[in-house]
């Protein structure tokens, strides 16, 4: 591409970037985990806000026909996918829903079952464990020790 062609189409990036792919659960999970690791909790609106800069316009449209409900929805595809991913994480016992603050919180799980999974994600993202998980781990270790008299 020479200078005149680049001036004719300044937003042109190449074949692979002409169309933005439709969101999937795997794409949404990639945006949920960094927020969970940074803050230890997440709201769906935060994930949707971080997704909007990279997702397709089709994923943000509201009022599309929903064949399962038989009417026009009041939420976008991105919002529905975020809710589904957070629901899956609750089903896997990775998160719990805090009704008081309307927030999904990362948890250790029963008998620390989530620790290996969280450590895998932390290692893959080159991130850090949330402070509340580290505090919970330390508290459990401290509770196991005998009390000095």
Among the ranges given (7-11, 19-23, 57-61, 117-121), the one the predictor scored with the smallest mean pLDDT: 7-11
pTM of the model: 0.75
Confidence at 112, pLDDT banded by 50, 70, 90 = confident
Mean pLDDT of 1-15: 57
Could you tell me the two tokens for 136? 């919970």
**26 Cβ neighbours under 8 A, 6+ residues apart:** none
Q: Is 22 or 9 the better-scoring residue by pLDDT?
A: 22
- 54: pLDDT strictly greater than 60: yes
Residues 50/35, Cβ–Cβ less than 8 Å: yes
Given this model, what pLDDT does residue 61 score? 81
Q: What is the 3-state secondary structure (H, E, C) of the chain?
A: CCHHHHHHCCCCCCHHHCCCCCCCHHHHHHHHHHHHHHHCEECHHHHHHHHCCCCCHHHHCCCCEECCCCEECCCCHHHHHHHHHHHHHHHCCCEEEECCCCEEEECCCHHHCCHHHHHHHHHHHCCCCCHHHHHHHHHHHHHHCCCCC
Dihedral of the alpha carbons of 34, 40, 45, 49, in degrees to the nearest 10: -30
Q: What are the residue boundaries of the structural domains of the chain, listed by start?
A: 13-144
Given this model, what pLDDT does residue 19 score? 72
CATH of domain 13-144: 1.10.10.10
Provide the residue count of the chain.
149
């Amino acid at each position: 591409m020479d200078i005149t062609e680049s001036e004719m189409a300044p937003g042109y990036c190449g074949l692979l970037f002409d169309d933005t792919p439709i969101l999937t659960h795997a794409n949404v999970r990639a945006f949920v985990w960094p927020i969970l690791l940074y803050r230890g909790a997440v709201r769906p609106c935060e994930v949707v806000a971080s997704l909007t800069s990279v997702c397709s316009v089709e994923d943000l449209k509201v009022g599309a026909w929903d064949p399962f409900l038989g009417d026009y929805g009041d939420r976008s595809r991105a919002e529905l996918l975020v809710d589904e991913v957070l629901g899956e994480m609750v089903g896997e016992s990775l998160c719990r829903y805090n009704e008081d603050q309307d927030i999904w919180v990362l948890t250790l799980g029963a008998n620390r079952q989530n620790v290996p999974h969280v450590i895998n994600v932390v290692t893959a993202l080159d991130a850090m464990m949330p402070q509340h998980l580290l505090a919970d781990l330390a508290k459990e270790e401290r509770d196991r020790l005998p009390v000095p008299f």
